[in-house]
Amino acid sequence: MLVGLSIQGNIASVKRGLSNFQARQVPFATSLALNELAKGVAAVERGLIDETFDSPTPFTENAYRIEVATRSRPIAIVRSKDIQSGYLMPYVVGGPRSLGTKRGMLVPRAVGVNKYHNLTRGKLASLKAKPNVFIGPVTFKNGRTVNGVWQRSNHGPGERRRQAGYGTKGRSVDKIGGARTTLKLLIQFEDTTPAPKRLPFEARARQYLDRNARAVFEAALQRAIATSRR
């Protein structure tokens, strides 16, 4: 995701009223204004992230970087970084949510998450190392198959079957999809789902420019004139 910031249309009327000396400062003032506006757009987009997602991580909030404008290249670019772009893009253009390198979405069912509602780093590996936990699909008598991370019960009959990876008999301590089971579903593996188009990245940037471009350029032009040599 990227948006290139140009303000030529916003400042055309300002440029018409400039003296020759003031006009010579326009390229420098334009680069100053564009870089200031780019910072504002990046802040606006960060706010949009906070509006769109419940408790986004700092990694997601800091998704955007700026390519600065210069006198010879009067355009500034605000773009999302590569990794963040991969999972944010579906919220801009639609389509399935990104799985990254995962084969499925990891949905916590009976396991703790961090303050961002995500699994903590290394959680899956630590669960996998436990002797009463296994990973894989379980098919119940009603025909439903659920794939995920499972915890076996330590008590009740059928211990040998549970250790073999079956474990759907004995004292029922849980019910999954209507099926009684002694297994506890800690994390479920699910297919990806369509992302709702609710991240108007470019539209929000354009709105910010329309509101602020002229004022920011006028302030930048005054700075350029004040620091120039006649």
- On whether both 38 and 112 belong to a single domain, the answer is no
- On whether both 111 and 78 belong to a single domain, the answer is no
Spatial contact of 40 and 48, defined as CB atoms under 8 Å apart? no
Domain count for the chain = 2
pLDDT of residue 220: 95
Per-residue pLDDT tens over the stretch 140-177: 888 888 999 999 986 554 444 444 454 444 444 567 76
Per-residue pLDDT tens over the stretch 84-124: 999 999 999 989 988 877 778 888 999 988 888 888 888 88
Spatial contact of 156 and 172, defined as CB atoms under 8 Å apart? no
Which range marks the domain in which residue 125 is found? 105-190
- On whether both 150 and 171 belong to a single domain, the answer is yes
- On whether both 52 and 29 belong to a single domain, the answer is yes
Give 27's contacts (C-beta < 8 A, 6+ positions apart).
71, 72, 74
- On whether both 7 and 87 belong to a single domain, the answer is yes
Spatial contact of 1 and 201, defined as CB atoms under 8 Å apart? yes
Spatial contact of 209 and 10, defined as CB atoms under 8 Å apart? yes
Category of 102 on φ-ψ map: left (φ > 0), alpha (ψ -120 to 50) or beta: beta
pLDDT band at 7 (very low <50, low <70, confident <90, very high): confident
- On whether both 93 and 203 belong to a single domain, the answer is yes
- On whether both 53 and 73 belong to a single domain, the answer is yes
- On whether both 89 and 199 belong to a single domain, the answer is yes
Least confident interval from 10-19, 117-126, 182-191: 10-19
- On whether both 109 and 64 belong to a single domain, the answer is no
18: pLDDT strictly greater than 70: yes
pTM of structure = 0.73
- On whether both 14 and 44 belong to a single domain, the answer is yes
pLDDT of residue 141: 83
- On whether both 76 and 91 belong to a single domain, the answer is yes
What's the DSSP call for residue 80?
E
- On whether both 198 and 181 belong to a single domain, the answer is no
